[in-house]
Amino acid sequence: MLGSRVVVLRLSSCVLVAAACGDDPVGVPDAPRVIDAAPPPIDAVVDACAPPTGPGTDHANALAADELWTEADSPHRITTQVGVPAGVTLRLAPCAVVELGPDAALTVSGSLLAEGELTRRVQIRAASSGQPWRWIDVSGGALSLTHTRIEGGGAPGAGGGVTARAMVRVRGDGNPLGQALVSVDEVDLVGSASTGMILASAARFSPGGGALRITGSALAPLVLDPSAVGVVPTGTYAGNGLDAIVVPRVAFGVSGQVLAVSMQPRGVPYQMGTAEDPNPVQQVGVGTAGTAILAIEPGTTLAMLPGYRLDVDAAAGGSLVAIGTAAAPITMTSAATTPAAGDWVGLVFRGVPNAGTAIDHAVIEHAGAPGTSSTGFSCGTPPAGVDSSRTMGAIVITSTVPGVAPTAFVTNTTIRTSASNGVDRGYRADADIDFLASNTFSGIRYCTQTEPRDAGNGCPDPVPCPMAP
């Protein structure tokens, strides 16, 4: 790499729970990262690789042993499928060119190492323009890409959604605390006929890599589980059919374990949920005796699919830490083309939120759909008529523990365009925790904040319902 070397250490959710900072952190904090102070723009780098002129090499079936595919033997042609079994490594040397035929695939259970250099990049591309190959499909293996360009793949499969097919797909073992499987350093994924890259079953990037640029995808640039959002590489994710990093509604947390990640701004929103998700609810906190901290850094935008609901389960150790700044607020909004009140349900805090939970300098908008079937937690919503006892709001607290009240954990935040309430205070305590003084409400259909029940489960008569101006 060029230029002076700078060591950058990012601290985020590590400060929230010491146990989250082990030898192999999941998402936060990142390991010390060595970067270039002034790397050259990738478009300014001259490619020193000569076009292949020899007969090339045909490959088929599974590799029997480790192989090195070189520049001299390029192009390396795959017409149907080549497999890299567990325990076997395929290395692609600098300037190596791999060409895949229509719907051809490279499947990896071992290791694939593309070892390009700054001016001698590895190229993986379609054998014929306009005839996309299928994918590089890594299942339980390892993928390392350095100075590599991958283009022209991602032939669409059945179903057609963002999770159905990608130019590069990596699947882990389902353990969010497992080993990182993907390492990238100055990598371009260009022109996928479906999604650019999918990381599924808890696969994630290694921290400390270089830039990843995904452009020209017919669908989304990147799809990954919530446990992997803390180590999304810097780079470019715009210029695709859907300019968003997609996070399916997979539960976040490990029973009895600590899992902490921090979502960082990457130039496009994080779309929360997919049309293929079986459940509209995404849960933070799983099982018992665990800790699940989902942190969101300043300037990050989350765009929620219709019906989306984020449940933060205090009893399961779930915490949401969304702390923005006045200059760079966190935004939680609708993913709809034309956003409207009630596009998504909201943030549901099951139980009085844990001490670490905080929302500060945020915007929460277009939520408030009555997407829960529960009733009777707060004193209700008098203007809602037959739905007056229903639990609903952009932010909802549900607790039946008498005498335990939350803190005013939402501050300096704008809550607007809600189809029901602003904050539904469904706890039981004599303490009246006010969310109005330090937050701004507008476009709230019913109450800016509902009235909590007292410790004896009683309500005043009449029930207050402050309205937004």
pLDDT tens sequence for the chain (469 residues): 333 333 232 333 333 333 333 333 333 333 333 333 344 555 556 789 999 999 999 999 999 999 999 999 999 999 999 999 999 999 999 999 999 999 999 999 999 999 999 999 999 999 999 999 999 999 999 999 999 999 999 999 767 789 999 999 999 999 999 889 999 999 999 999 999 999 999 999 999 889 999 999 999 999 999 999 999 999 999 999 999 999 999 999 999 999 999 999 999 999 999 999 988 899 999 988 899 999 999 999 999 999 999 999 999 999 999 999 999 999 999 999 999 999 999 999 999 999 999 999 999 999 999 877 789 999 999 999 999 999 999 999 999 999 999 999 999 999 999 999 999 999 999 999 999 999 999 999 999 999 999 999 999 999 999 999 7
Instruction: Tell me how far apart the alpha carbons of residues 247 and 251 are, in angstroms, rounded to a whole number.
Output: 11
Residue 222 identity: L
Which neighbouring-strand residues pair with 18? none
286 and 253 Cβ atoms separated by less than 8 Å: yes
Q: In this predicted structure, what is the pLDDT of residue 44?
A: 57
Cβ atoms 365, 332 nearer than 8 A: yes
pLDDT at 209: 87
Paired residues of 260 in beta bridges: 293
Residue 158: predicted pLDDT: 67
Distances (CA, A) of 366 to 333, 335, 436, 443, 444: 6, 10, 19, 9, 10
**Residue closest to 395 by CA, chosen among 339, 430, 357, 356:** 357
91: how many CB neighbours lie within 10 A of its CB?
17
Mind spelling out the 3-state secondary structure of the chain?
A: CCCCEEEECCCCHHHCCHHHCCCCCCCCCCCCEEEECCCCCHHHCCCCCCCCCCCCEEEEEECCCCEEECCCCCCEEEEEEEEECCCCEEEECCCCEEEECCCCEEEECCEEEEECECCECEEEEECCCCCCCCEEEEECCEEEEEEEEEECCCCCCCCCCCCCCEEEEEECCCCCCCCCCEEEEEEEEECCCCEEEEEECCCCECCCCCCEEEECCCCCCEEECHHHHHHCCCEECCCCCCCCEEECCCCECCCCCEEEEEECCCCCCEEECCCCCCCCEEEECCCCCCEEEEEECCCCEEEECCCCEEEEEHHHCEEEEEECCCCCCEEEEECCCCCCCCCCCEEEEECCCCCCCEEECEEEECCCCCCCCCECCCCCCHHHHHHCCECCCCEEEEEEEECCCCCCCEECCEEEEECCCCEEEEEECCCCCCCCCCCEEEEECCCCECCCECCCCCCCCCCCCCCCC
Between strands 362-365 and 330-334, the pairing is parallel
Query: How far from chain centre, in Å, is Cα 83?
Result: 29
Q: What are phi and psi of 43, to 5 degrees?
A: -70, -20
